[in-house]
Amino acid sequence: MTVTVDCMGRIEVADHGSGVPRKDRENIFKRFWRGPGERNEGAGLGLAIVSETMRAHRGGVSVADNPGGGATFTLSFPSLPAGEAKMAGEGFDGGRI
């Protein structure tokens, strides 16, 4: 697995697994959805939780093919307004973290 963070507010997580078929890409973010013939344990909630968390932060999540095989998930966070940007990285008491 590879994780990449860029200055545009994106985090990419790529793996070299079996990937996500195009026909399933909309469904994988739905609660309790599991792929046909899926044998792994789990309730089918993980990616739904990721999607809802990103929506709560005014961002989004998407999936694409990983060029080396597998899938790449991209978390896209919105830019902070200018007044809030200087607060990023500050602790509750105004000090740096």
Looking at residue 79, what is its pLDDT? 84
Cα four-point dihedral sign 77, 64, 46, 11: negative
Q: Are strands 10-14 and 2-5 parallel, antiparallel or unpaired?
A: antiparallel
Query: Phi-psi category of 20—alpha, beta or left, where left has phi over 0 and alpha has psi -120 to 50?
Result: beta
Kindly report the pTM of this predicted structure. 0.75
Q: pLDDT tens per residue, the chain (97 residues)?
A: 899 999 888 999 999 999 999 999 999 999 998 877 767 778 889 999 999 999 999 999 999 999 989 999 999 999 877 666 555 555 545 544 4
Looking at residue 42, what is its pLDDT? 80
E strand or H helix at 71: strand 71-76
Looking at residue 97, what is its pLDDT? 44
